[in-house]
Amino acid sequence: TGMAIGTAALILILSVYNGFDKIVSDNLSDLEPDILIVPAQGKSFAPEGEDFDWVRSLEAVEDVQEVIQENVFLSYGEHQGTALAKGVDTSYARVSGLSNHMIEGQWRLKFGDLDECCFGSTLSYSLGTHPGFSEPVTVYFPDRKENISLMNPMESVHQADVFHSGTVSVSSDVDASLLILPIDLMRSLVQYDNEVSALEIRTSGRPDKLLKEIQARLGEGYRVLDRYHQNP
């Protein structure tokens, strides 16, 4: 009887953990890439040269996205907040599947000459903004190359106005901070030339072997992470 109860409890616990694993994997699959390349030190790098050309040319690599990611300050009307802004190309939703999590509005980062953005649902609610509102959200980021002026701090801050085009919902922690911006706008805010925060790679099949090959080719100056190592 004791062995039967112990075995049943073990099966139940393992089943619950398998269920959690599937839920987490399903939620991450549309936001996290198969492989992520980030610098081993510092916050940015320039993805240029023979090594990165080799990565892009690999047969198992289906898509490579340049990403710039930074914490920013937001202002909308009387509401303020912070967000983890992610600058991406207009094709990002198609390759990542993030548009599958759209709950309001539409995925769009440009409307003519106007810059647009997508919010996580909780962040959108806290700022009081919704798709289609006529007033833009203002995004602020401090000047990386100058000291902050104590007399007039706003002189040391870069800012940009963006319009809310869509709202996504992935998970509670992501929804509370996610802000998707056009990568050219993000590059202007953080004063990058050709640098990026990361390269997101999506592959055909299992990325395990490919990950090891890329890490060996790029060397110790970079960290090459699969989905689980991105979220330890």
pLDDT of residue 172: 84
Neighbours of 168 (CB within 10 A): 25
* Cut 0.75: pTM above it: yes
Examine the pLDDT at 89 and tell me if it is beyond 70.
Answer: yes
165 token code pair: 């085009």
Residue with tokens 């690999």: 58
Percent residues over pLDDT 70 in the chain: 93
Share of the chain above pLDDT 90, in %: 62
pLDDT digits (tens, 9 = 90+) for 178-197: 999 999 999 999 999 999 99
Q: Produce one character per residue of 117-143: b if its CB has 16 or more CB atoms within 10 Å, e if not.
A: bbbbbbbbebbebebeeeebbebbbbe
d(CA 221, CA 20): 34
